Structure 1
Amino acid sequence: MISRLGRAVFSVVALAAVPLAHAADYPQKPVTLVVPQPPGGAADAVARPFAQALAARLGQPVVVENRAGANGNIAAAYVAQRPADGYTIFYGSISTLAVNPHLYKSPGFDPFKDFQPITLTNQTPNVLVVGAQTPYKSVADVVKAAKAAPGQLAFGSAGNGNTMHLTGLQFEASTGTQLVHVPYKGGPAALTDVMGGQIPMMFHNLSAVLPVAQAGKIRILAVADEKRSPLAPDVPTMAEAGAPGTVQIAWSGMLVRSGTPAPIVERLHKEMAAILATPEFRKPQESQGSEILSSTPQEFEARLKTDSQRMAEVIKAGNVHID
């Protein structure tokens, strides 16, 4: 006969084996990819082809679900409450995961306790752009104008506390200037006003401004990266242009709920890494200004920790508040 202790041990082992059994059969139903931006935006341009490729590799539909609002907090909080079973994937970004926890008193999630990173997917640097009608041809021109009229030269962004705003704060600190921040409800609205002459400049993602720059509607003066972009090789880095320390790279990546069984995380990482290595996925994204990445879960977590600390310092120094 099996003793009471033996039955207890058997029960514990049996229960522990249940998630592993489910992981071996994963996936048995459609998977949801939650995107924290509205349909049709820059995030969708990456998420939807990625979801199609992932569905083909998993043998189950991968449904994109857009949950916009609160700078991504709504979507992140939603995923943080979903079961840790690998059926809900979050397309997270530096803004939602590394910036928002330092801006909001109650964002509704903890990026380190609630999420298991799988892989980084893509990144694009922020750039300083000016309207084609402005006299500014270089960062030096902007700095000269800003110092001649402290607190008068305006720059736009997608809203208070986003990475475009924080790039502006870094720029001020590195150049010793005082600018006026004009927050908009989204990057497209700010970019429209830069093109129309309502504001002279803004900091924006390279992938978002490259087409209009090529059309001659704006000028890109510098890249907030440590290296030049192959898509704009003639544009200097901020350090080369006289604004050292202004580095802001908008990255995104795939995550699931913390506690998701390791075999599922490993399966997802394997399939996602394979997608990110294919020319079919890479080339369209690279042509639009995105640099395709691929990382281990550990590398993703390390970058999140580093950028979270860095963004906390910028936010504190700039005295930025949301609520």
Structure 2
Amino acid sequence: MPRHISRNPIARVLAMTAALLGAITGAPAAAAEAFPSKPVTMLVAFPPGGPADVLARAMQPAMTKLLGQPFIIENLPGAGGAVAVQRLLSRPADGYTLIMGSPNEAILAPLSNASAKYKPEELALLAPISNHPLVVMARNDLPFTSLEEIIAAGRKPGSQSLSFGSPGHGSMYHIVSEYLAQVTGAKLLHVPYKGATPMMQDLVGQQVDMTILPNLGASIQMLESRKIKALNVLDSRRMPTLPDVPAVSESGIAQKSELVYSIWLAVMAKSGIPDDRLRVLLEASQQAIQSTEMAKALAQSGVQPMKPQSLATSAKFYADETEKFKKMARSIQLTAQ
């Protein structure tokens, strides 16, 4: 069972200290405002029902209880996640606005979207939630049963390019698919969509050949009902929820070690929040991530919550991820549109 913190333990200590100092020096006791003293909002950069939204709402009951204030989920889709990030950055760095972050909106949107006027370094990773292996999914009637067969077909002289859909230009799934084509020599044609929902509808409707996504949200039901099929998991091992789908490490693809990919989701914030407020948000987030509601949401995709880690460890992880994706973007010559 997660250890529940009191309404605002750190904030209470700060307030008591301020009151004591006020009694001694005559300074007003209100100098140290209790935090949080009003609702906290978590922005989600994609529409309701998507992976980020599912996890944000799974956190909501525990965060409301732990912070002692309403924890509001606000969906702000658009521009590959840039709309939500720019809203976050327009707010004060006071801890009252957070975002359910991933490489897509935090790192890749500024590299691929000309309207995203911010840098990844303007955000801070507060608490990692989960890491989801990517899955190669295809329309049911595609005459291939593995990524290895797709690559072999795509390398044949005169072969027609297979189409792969992505939720948008510059998304992680776009970059991974382009990088896959680059390192294997397979011919693939990118079809960008405005979000995962219309793309998955076209995959079911056999308008696009394949996609690469985490198995979260709508794809779970689509795979279970056999409206689409899963070919490979881009990981070193199979997923518990897809036991019959081989990991790419089991394939005969020569470049398989370069094709292991997963996407993380994390509680993120604007850089510059005061340390005392960061500690309150970190402790609450870490407990909410270990909550029963979050465990149920993550179990559907066959992953476990990530272990709690320090702010310094999270900062290093985020810096390393930023550099990794910048290198991939340069490799495929990604341009801002």
Normalised TM-score (structure 1): 0.86
Equivalent in the alignment of 1:220: 230
Query: Deviation of residue 256 (structure 1)?
Result: 2.3
Q: CA deviation at 1:147?
A: 1.6
Aligned to 2:126: 118
Residues 1:47 and 2:60 aligned together: no
Give 1:28's aligned residue.
37
Rate the CA distance shift 1:285–1:215 in 2: closer, same or farther, 3 A. Answer: same
Tell me if the contact between 1:20 and 1:263 (Cα under 8 Å) persists in the aligned partners. no
Paired position in structure 2 for 1:7: none
1:279: how far off? 3.0
Corresponding residue for residue 274 of structure 1: 287
Q: How does 1:74-93 map onto structure 2 within 5 Å?
A: 74-93=83-102
- Provide the C-alpha distance between the structure 2 equivalents of 1:142 and 1:123, rounded to a whole number of angstroms: 26
For the residue of structure 1 that corresponds to 2:264, the secondary structure is strand
What SS does structure 1 have at the residue aligned with 2:257? Answer: coil
> Does the CA-based 8 Å contact 2:76-2:84 persist in structure 1?
yes
C-alpha contact 1:116 1:260 (8 A) present in aligned 2: no
* SS of structure 2 residue aligned to 1:244: helix
Q: 1:131·1:218 contact (CA, 8 Å) conserved in 2? A: yes
Map Cα deviations across residues 144-173 of structure 1 (whole Å, 9 max, x no partner).
221224452211111211111112112213
Comparing 56-65 and 312-321, the one that deviates more: 312-321
Is 2:335 the counterpart of 1:321?
yes
Displacement of 1:57: 0.8
Aligned pair in 2 of structure 1 residues 318, 118: CA closer, same or farther (>3 Å)? same
Contact 1:33–1:91 (Cα < 8 Å) also in 2: yes
Distance 1:108 1:211, change over 3 A: same
Task: Write the deviation string for residues 48-107 of structure 1: whole angstroms up to 9, x where unpaired.
Answer: 231221011111111112222111111111211211211111221110112123223562
- Gap regions ≥5 residues in structure 1: 1-13
Assess if the C-alpha contact under 8 Å between 1:155 and 1:181 holds in 2: yes
For residue 214 of structure 1, report the CA deviation from its aligned partner: 1.9
Q: Which residue of 2 aligns with 1:101?
A: 110
Distance 2:204 2:102 in 1: 27
Q: How does 1:1-323 map to 2 (within 5 A)?
A: 21-22=32-33, 25-105=34-114, 107-112=116-121, 114-148=122-156, 149-150=158-159, 152-208=161-217, 209-241=219-251, 242=253, 243-293=256-306, 294-323=308-337
Q: Secondary structure at the match of 1:311?
A: helix
**Amino acid in structure 2 at the alignment position of 1:34:** L
Q: Percent identity?
A: 28
RMSD: 2.3
Alignment check: 8 A CA contact 1:151 1:180 kept? no
Deviations 1:3-25 (A, max 9, x none): xxxxxxxxxxx9xx999822xx2
Taking a change above 3 Å as real, the CA distance of residues 195 and 40 of structure 1, as seen in their structure-2 partners, is closer
TM-score between the two structures when normalised by the length of structure 2 = 0.83
Deviation at 1:238, TM superposition (A): 2.3
Tell me how many residue pairs correspond in the alignment: 305
- 5+ residue gaps, structure 2, are 1-24
Equivalent position of 1:3 in the other structure: none
Query: What is the CA-CA distance between 1:316 and the residue it aligns to?
Result: 1.4
Shift of 1:290: 4.9
Contact 1:33 1:51 (C-alpha < 8 Å) held by counterparts:
no
Q: Deviations over 1:114-172 (max 9, x none)?
A: 33321011232221111221211122221222122445221111121111111211221
Larger deviation: 291-300 or 163-172? 291-300
Contact kept in structure 2, 1:27 and 1:58, CA below 8 Å: yes
Contact 2:46–2:78 (Cα < 8 Å) also in 1: yes
Question: Following the alignment from structure 2 to structure 1, what is the Cα–Cα distance between the partners of residues 196 and 49?
Answer: 14
